[in-house]
Structure 1
Amino acid sequence: MPAPGQRGPVRPSPTEEVDDVTATTGRQAQAAARASDVWKVYGSGEAQVVALRGVSAEFERGRFTAIMGPSGSGKSTLMHCLAGLDAVTRGTVAIGDTTVTGLGDAGLTKLRRDKVGFIFQQFNLLPTLTAKENILLPLSIAGRKPDPAWYDVVIATVGLRDRLDHRPAQLSGGQQQRVACARALVARPEVIFADEPTGNLDSRSGAEVLSFLRNSVREHGQTIVMVTHDPTAAAYADRVVFLADGEIVSELIEPTADTVLDTMKKLDVPAATEVGN
C-alpha cells in the first residue's frame, strides 16, 4: 500500500492561491463539519487496514446528510473521526471554526460538550433517570441551564410532553430514541452525528424518528450527519455521500429510496464480481 500523501502537491500560482483562500474561507463559513485529505490506518505490516483513503468532504450547516456504503467501506470510521471520537492518521478534521485534529483530551471534551450532539443505535439512556432528566443530562454535567423557550420547542418537536416523567423502561423503543434525539438537540450543537439511529426500531418508530430529524433540520436549522445502511432512511436526507473501500465514490442530492438503492447496487458490483471470480 502506498504511504498516505506520497505524491507531492502541485503548487498553484499566487493568483490561484488568493482565489483559493477566498473560496475556502467562504466554504468554511458554510460548513458545520469538514474532512480534508483524511486517512485512517489501523495496525501495521501485514495486519494493516486502511479504513479511509484521503477523504475530503464538507457538511453544510442546516443540512441533513446521510453517509452510506457497503460493509467495511469506512462510513462509521469517517463519522467517528469527524466527531472527534477517533483520531485521524493523516489529514485534518474541523467542526465549524474549531480544528479537531490535534486537540488534547480537555479540548475534545469541550468540543463534544459544546459543539457536537450524538444519537446512537442503542439510545444510551440512563435507566434510573426520567426522560426529562436524560434530555437535560449533558447540560447538567456542563453546569448549564437550558434555554426555556428552546427546550419547549424541542419537547414539542419530539412529541413527548406527556412522557417526560417516565423512565426508559416505561417507554417504547421509538420513544426512547426520540428522548435521545431531544438530548442531542437541546444544547443546540454545531452538528449532530447519528449512527444508525433507526437500527433497533420497527419501521413505524423509525419513520417517526427520521421525521423528527428531518424537521429539526428544515424548521430549526440543525445540521445532521447520519450513517445508515437503509435506503429508506437515507431518503429523508438532503444529500447522500457514498463510500467504498475508504473513499468517497458518489453522492446524491435530494435522494429517493430508489436512487439510493440503485447507487448502492452499483457499489456492490465489483465486490460481487471478485467473489464470483
Structure 2
Amino acid sequence: MVGRDRAAVRAIGLERIFGIGEAQVAALDGCSLELAQGEFTAIMGPSGSGKSTLLHCLAGLDRQSSGTVLLGETDLAELSDNQLSDLRRDRIGFVFQSFNLIPTLTARENITLPADIGRRAVDEQRFAEIVAAIGMEDRLEHFPSQLSGGQQQRIACARALVTRPEVIFADEPTGNLDSRASQSILDFLRRSVDVHGQTVVMVTHDPLAASRCDRVVFLVDGRMVDELRDPTAEQILEWMRTSVETWGR
C-alpha cells in the first residue's frame, strides 16, 4: 500500500470544548492518533464519543480548543481563515452524510466545483475515470433533484476525489442510503485507496462498512482507546459488545 509508513494526518492531544462554565462539554479530551498515507481508516465509537468532531477538526472544518492537527507537515492552527479555506479546497476532500450538492448545478458542475472555485483546469482523464467508476456517465447533465440518494452520494464522492486531494474525509457517507447504494459507495472509496493510493478516513457506525477498511480506530469519551487492523465485521461487533461492559455504554 502506497505510503503506509508515513502519516497523512496527525492529531496530537486534541481538545474541543463546547459551551462555558457548568455547561462545558469536552467533545475531544486529549485525543491523539496518526492516519497513514494510502490507507482506508474507519473511526467508530459510541454515540457522543467525538467521532464527527474529530473528523471536522482533522479536516479543518472546525478548530480545536487545544492540541495540534498536522496535514502532512502543515500545522492547521498556524493558518489564517483564508489559508485554511485554500487548504480545504486544494488538499482535502470531504463527503457529507447529507450530500451537500448545489441544487442549481448539474451533476457535472457539482463534481468540478472545487476546481472551478480554484480556477483550475479539470483533469479530463481523471474526471472520466471517476465518473466511469461511479457509473454516472449518463446522468451528468441531471440536477440533484433528478437523482436518487445513492446517485447524489456518488456525485458527492466524485467531487471529493476529482482534484486528487491528499486526504478524503467521509462522515457517515452511507448513513442515508440503502444497502445496494451503500455497497457502491464503499466499493468506490475502497478502489480509490487500492488503485489510486488515496488516503480515506471515514466515520461510521456500521460494522459491515468498517470491515471494508484497513484499520478501525475506536473513540470513547473523546479519546482513542483501541484499534483493529484488517478487521472483520464480527471482530468489530465483538469490540462494540465488550466496550459496553468496559466503559458502561
Q: TM-score range by the shorter chain?
A: over 0.9
Shift of 1:265: 1.4
For 1:192, which of 155, 168, 191 is the aligned residue? Answer: 168
Within-5 A mapping of 1:76-155: 76-155=52-131
- 2:193 is aligned with 1:217: yes
State whether residues 5 and 36 of structure 2, in contact with CA within 8 Å, keep that contact through their aligned partners in structure 1: no
What letter matches 1:259 in structure 2? Q
Within-5 A mapping of 1:46-85: 46-85=22-61
Shift of 1:85: 1.1
**1:35-58 deviations in whole A, cap 9, x for unaligned?**
011111222332121111211111
Query: What TM-score does the superposition give when structure 2 sets the normalisation length?
Result: 0.95
Residue segments in structure 1 that go unaligned for 5+ positions in a row: 1-26
- 2:242 is aligned with 1:266: yes
Q: Please give the alpha-carbon distance, in whole angstroms, between the structure 1 residues aligned to 2:6 and 2:189.
A: 20
- 2:249 is aligned with 1:249: no
Shift of 1:104: 1.3
State whether residues 6 and 37 of structure 2, in contact with CA within 8 Å, keep that contact through their aligned partners in structure 1: yes
Cross-structure match for 1:170: 146
Secondary structure, counterpart of 1:66 in structure 2: strand
Shift of 1:166: 1.4
Distance 1:250 1:136, change over 3 A: same
Cross-structure match for 1:18: none
**1:83-127 deviations in whole A, cap 9, x for unaligned?**
111111111001122111132111111110111101001111112
RMSD: 1.6
Q: Please give the alpha-carbon distance, in whole angstroms, between the structure 1 residues aligned to 2:168 and 2:175.
A: 17
**1:146-169 deviations in whole A, cap 9, x for unaligned?**
112211211121111111111112
State whether residues 28 and 96 of structure 1, in contact with CA within 8 Å, keep that contact through their aligned partners in structure 2: no
Shift of 1:171: 1.5
Further displaced range: 72-81 or 167-176? 167-176
Q: Please give the alpha-carbon distance, in whole angstroms, between the structure 1 residues aligned to 2:9 and 2:46.
A: 23
Shift of 1:28: 11
Q: Please give the alpha-carbon distance, in whole angstroms, between the structure 1 residues aligned to 2:18 and 2:155.
A: 34
Q: How many residues align?
A: 247
Q: Runs (4+) of structure 1 moved beyond 6 Å?
A: none
State whether residues 4 and 39 of structure 2, in contact with CA within 8 Å, keep that contact through their aligned partners in structure 1: no
Shift of 1:269: 2.2
Q: Please give the alpha-carbon distance, in whole angstroms, between the structure 2 residues aligned to 1:257 and 1:66.
A: 12
Larger Rg: 1
Residue segments in structure 2 that go unaligned for 5+ positions in a row: none
Shift of 1:32: 1.2
Cross-structure match for 1:239: 215
Q: Please give the alpha-carbon distance, in whole angstroms, between the structure 2 residues aligned to 1:42 and 1:169.
A: 35
Query: What TM-score does the superposition give when structure 1 sets the normalisation length?
Result: 0.86
State whether residues 234 and 257 of structure 1, in contact with CA within 8 Å, keep that contact through their aligned partners in structure 2: yes
What letter matches 2:42 in structure 1? A
